[in-house]
């Protein structure tokens, strides 16, 4: 492919906020190399597919994306990277239409691979982690999003029996407090009104540093700096919700009153088989203390249904725990067998039909939880960050409150990426509707 002509590149992403951050960093790198970055699914000279491998479905979606971009431009360079590429490069190399399969450590060489042009057979370059996950990819943008993801930690030292991600991301590594502060300063200068702190295992932040630090140290540094924006914690394991963290959130002026906790199961026998380091009783105690201590907090959870050996009684144990607690939403996933994980060889694999039925019940419970939480705030005035896009169905502005309530309201485009006071009215399947008071201006 000629190198003296400007090339267009489209980056598409599957998976977590850490992957979204990586894609933003790739786009910034491409712009710095004088490529034109175009939104997916525009026709482009090259496509970068940043994959996820948490479930079999995300693997399937990655393969489908390869076929889709090849139809968009049969002459384009197609590069597949991310976690699926890292752990299943041989599988991806057999998919027609791919020119390069590159691992997570090779993401920083994206320009080199694009300039390498089309290939008659895929080039596979997947490096191995030694001392931990590289933290070389950094960005000061958010890929066109209203909220900016800031990845401060990579990798995971835990060994949950169902999870392939430690093999895809390596050992835990953190940016220093000083580097995190520098990156935040750059995002604030870019006028972002919300910064989401993220990592593969955010709760492990700082443990690898010398001297060692912690996620709470990071949060306290941010609070002390009094930035003109709000901060959101992406996810913490339940055992990482310490009394110190709860006390911090109860008094914070900078952090959103919202936590997402990957519970995964509410049954002690299943939690033990999953290698999760807490019990259902400990989880319940933490949630209730958060609910009592942090005003109007939103607490969401991840839950896996159909884990090997999960019988009806153990599922009901999970269901009843979630039903009994003041949670505001849940993300439910069917167990997905991941090659190379201990759980893939466990006895008692649950038939797909049973797992799907359990997921349906959990999704119904999710709807009930959301409605109950959202309707608590009907008639109240709340600060909402107006997003860059409008709701496709209604054409109204959309945004989220600090405690993660999705809100639709009328207003001009000039309100986008501003904090707006909205009086909440009613609930529907998308969240809450609301209206600005007459003469209300953005904050």
CATH number, domain of 20, equals 3.40.50.12160
pLDDT at 130 over 70: no
Same domain for 169 and 83: no
Q: Is 62 found in the same domain as 160?
A: no
> How many CB atoms within 10 Å of residue 67?
11
Question: Do 61 and 188 have their domain in common?
Answer: no
Look up the CATH number of the domain holding residue 411: 2.40.50
For the segment 85-103, the average pLDDT, to the nearest whole number, is 94
Note whether 75 and 173 are same-domain residues: no
Sign of CA dihedral 287, 290, 295, 298: negative
**pLDDT mean across residues, the chain:** 93
Pairing of strands 148-154, 123-125: unpaired
Q: What is the pLDDT of residues 147-156, one digit of tens each?
A: 899 999 999 9
Residue 389 structural domain: 381-435
pLDDT of 435 reads 94
| Residue 399 is assigned to a structural domain of this protein | yes
Please tell me the predicted confidence (pLDDT) of residue 146.
80
Q: Could you tell me the end-to-end alpha-carbon distance of the chain, in angstroms, rounded to an integer?
A: 49
pLDDT at 389: 86
Assess if residue 2 is contained within a domain.
no
| CATH assignment of the domain containing 295 | 3.80.30.20
* 310 and 220 housed in the same domain: yes
Domain boundary among 76, 92, 125: 125
Residue 246 lies in a domain: yes
142 domain residue, yes or no: no
Calculate mean pLDDT across residues 415-432: 90
Contact present, 416 and 146 (Cβ < 8 Å): yes
Same structural domain for residues 229 and 266? yes
pLDDT of residue 2: 47
Q: Calculate mean pLDDT across residues 298-302.
A: 98
The reply to whether 321 and 422 lie within a common domain is no
Whether 75 is covered by a domain: the verdict is: yes
Nearest 10 degrees: Cα torsion 12, 14, 17, 20:
-10
Structurally, how many domains does the chain consist of? 3
353 and 271: one domain? yes
Residue 441 predicted with pLDDT over 60: no
Instruction: Find the helix or strand (DSSP H, E) in which 247 lies.
Output: helix 243-251
Residues 6+ positions from 346 with CB-CB distance below 8 Å: 161, 273, 308, 309
Q: Where are the beta strands (DSSP E) in 112-154?
A: 123-125, 148-154
Question: Are 357 and 250 in the same domain?
Answer: yes
Clarify whether residues 207 and 65 are in a common domain: no
Q: Is residue 84 part of a domain?
A: yes
63 part of a folded domain: yes
Q: Is the pLDDT of residue 442 over 80?
A: no
pLDDT digits (tens, 9 = 90+) for 164-203: 999 899 899 999 999 999 999 999 998 899 999 999 999 9
Single residue among 338, 359, 375 that ends a domain in this structure: 375
pLDDT tens column, 350-384: 999 999 999 999 999 999 999 999 999 999 999 99
Are residues 397 and 371 part of one domain?
A: no
* 177 and 319 fall within a common domain: yes
Within a domain: 303: yes
pLDDT of residue 93: 93
Q: In the listed set 350, 375, 400, which residue is the last one of a domain according to the structure?
A: 375
Task: Give residue 141's pLDDT band: very low, low, confident or very high (50, 70, 90).
Answer: low
């Amino acid at each position: 492919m000629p190198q003296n002509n400007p090339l267009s590149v489209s980056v598409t992403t599957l998976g977590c906020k850490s992957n979204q951050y990586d894609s933003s960093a790739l786009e910034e790198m491409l712009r710095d190399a004088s490529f034109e970055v175009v939104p997916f699914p525009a026709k482009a000279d090259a496509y970068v597919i940043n994959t996820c491998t948490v479930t079999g479905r995300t693997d399937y979606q990655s393969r489908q994306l390869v076929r889709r971009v090849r139809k968009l431009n049969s002459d384009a360079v197609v590069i597949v990277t991310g976690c699926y590429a890292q752990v299943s490069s041989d599988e991806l190399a057999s998919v027609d239409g791919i020119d390069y399969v590159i691992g997570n450590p090779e993401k920083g060489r994206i320009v080199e691979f694009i300039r390498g042009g089309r290939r008659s057979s895929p080039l596979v370059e997947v490096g191995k982690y030694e001392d931990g996950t590289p933290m070389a990819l950094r960005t000061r943008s958010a890929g066109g999003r209203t909220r900016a993801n800031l990845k401060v930690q990579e990798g995971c030292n835990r060994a949950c029996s169902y999870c392939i991600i430690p093999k895809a991301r390596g050992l835990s590594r953190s940016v220093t407090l000083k580097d995190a502060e520098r990156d935040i300063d750059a995002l604030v200068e870019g006028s972002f009104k919300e910064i989401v702190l993220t990592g593969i295992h955010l709760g492990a932040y700082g443990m690898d540093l010398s001297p060692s630090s912690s996620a709470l140290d990071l949060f306290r540094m941010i609070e002390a700096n009094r930035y003109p924006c709000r901060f959101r914690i992406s996810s913490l394991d339940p055992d990482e919700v310490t009394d110190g963290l709860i006390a911090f959130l109860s008094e914070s002026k900078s952090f959103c009153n919202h936590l997402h906790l990957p519970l995964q199961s509410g049954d002690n026998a299943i939690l033990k088989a999953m290698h999760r380091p807490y019990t259902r009783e400990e989880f319940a105690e933490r949630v209730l203390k958060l609910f009592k201590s942090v005003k109007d907090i939103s607490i969401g959870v991840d839950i896996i249904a159909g884990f090997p050996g999960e019988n009806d009684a153990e599922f009901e144990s999970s269901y009843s725990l979630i039903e009994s607690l003041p949670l505001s939403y849940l993300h439910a996933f069917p167990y997905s067998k991941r090659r190379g994980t201990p759980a893939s060889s466990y006895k008692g694999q649950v038939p797909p039909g049973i797992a799907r039925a359990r997921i349906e019940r959990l999704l119904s419970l999710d709807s009930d939880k959301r409605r109950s939480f959202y309707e608590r705030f009907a008639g109240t005035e709340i600060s909402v960050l107006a997003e860059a896009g409008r709701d496709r169905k209604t054409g109204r502005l959309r945004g989220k409150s600090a405690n993660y309530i999705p809100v639709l309201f009328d207003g001009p485009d000039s309100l986008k990426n501003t904090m707006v006071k909205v009086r909440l009215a009613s609930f529907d399947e998308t969240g809450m509707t609301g209206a600005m008071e007459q003469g209300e201006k953005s904050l």
